[in-house]
Amino acid sequence: MSAAVFEQAHAWLAQDPDEETRSELADLIARAEKGDPAAARDLDDRFNGRLQFGTAGLRGALGAGSNRMNRVLVAQAAAGFADFLRERTAGAVPTVVVGYDGRRNSDVFARDSAELFAGAGLRAILLPRRLPTPVLAFAVRHLGADAGVMVTASHNPPNDNGYKVYLGGRDEGSQIVAPSDGLIATAIQRIADTRSVADLPRSDAYEIAGEDVVEAYVTATAAVGPAPAGVDDLRWVYTAMHGVGWETFARVLETAGYAAPALVAEQIEPDGRFPTVSFPNPEEPGAMDLAFATARAADAELIIAQDPDADRLAVAIPDPASAEGWRRLTGNEVGLLLGLRAARAAQGTEGAALACSLVSSPGLGAIAERYGLGWHETLTGFKWISRAPGLVFGFEEALGYLVNPETVRDKDGISASIAFLQLATEARVAGKTVVDLLDELSAEIGFFASSQVSIRVDDLSVIARVMAALRLDPPTAFGEVAVAQADDLLQDPSGLGGDVLRYALADGSRIVCRPSGTEPKLKVYLDVRGDSAANAATRLAAAETAVRALLQRLG
Q: Which residues are catalytic, by number?
A: 154
CB 509 within 8 A of CB 527: yes
CA distance 253 to 439: 28
Rounded Cα distance between 127 and 151, Å, is 11
Question: Could you give the CA distance from residue 459 to residue 457 in angstroms, rounded to a whole number?
Answer: 5
Give the 3-state secondary structure of residue 538: helix
272 CB-side CA count, 13 A: 16
Partners of 207 in the β-ladder: 125
The span from the CA of 61 to the CA of 172, in Å, is 30
SS3 of 123-153: the string is: EEEECCCCCCHHHHHHHHHHCCCCEEEEECC
Q: How far apart are CA 27 and CA 187, in angstroms?
A: 31
As a whole number of angstroms, the distance between CA 68 and CA 21 comes to: 11
Phi, psi of 488, rounded to the nearest 5 degrees: -105, 110
Rounded Cα gap, residues 495 and 360, in angstroms: 18
Cis check: omega of the bond before 179, within 30 degrees of 0: yes
Other CB atoms within a 10 A radius of the CB of residue 444 amount to 15
Q: What angle do CA 217, 220, 223 make, to 5 degrees?
A: 145
271-276 contacts, C-beta under 8 A, 24 or more apart? 271/102, 271/242, 272/102, 272/103, 272/104, 272/106, 272/158, 272/242, 273/104, 273/158, 273/242, 274/158, 274/241, 274/242, 274/308, 275/242, 276/242
Residue 302: strand pairing partners? 236
Closest CA to 31 of 40, 23, 44, 22: 40
- Which are the contacts of 4, defined by CB distance < 8 A and separation ≥ 6? none
Please name which of 354, 380, 403 lies closest in space to residue 137, comparing C-alpha atoms: 403
What residues have CB less than 8 Å from 65, skipping those under 6 apart? 9, 12, 25, 43, 45, 46, 47
Residues 285, 288: Cα–Cα separation, whole Å: 8
φ/ψ of residue 221, rounded to 5: -75, -40
Q: Where are the alpha helices (DSSP H) in 144-264?
A: 180-194, 211-222, 245-256
Task: In whole angstroms, give the CA distance from residue 461 to residue 293.
Answer: 39
Across-strand partners of 400?
396
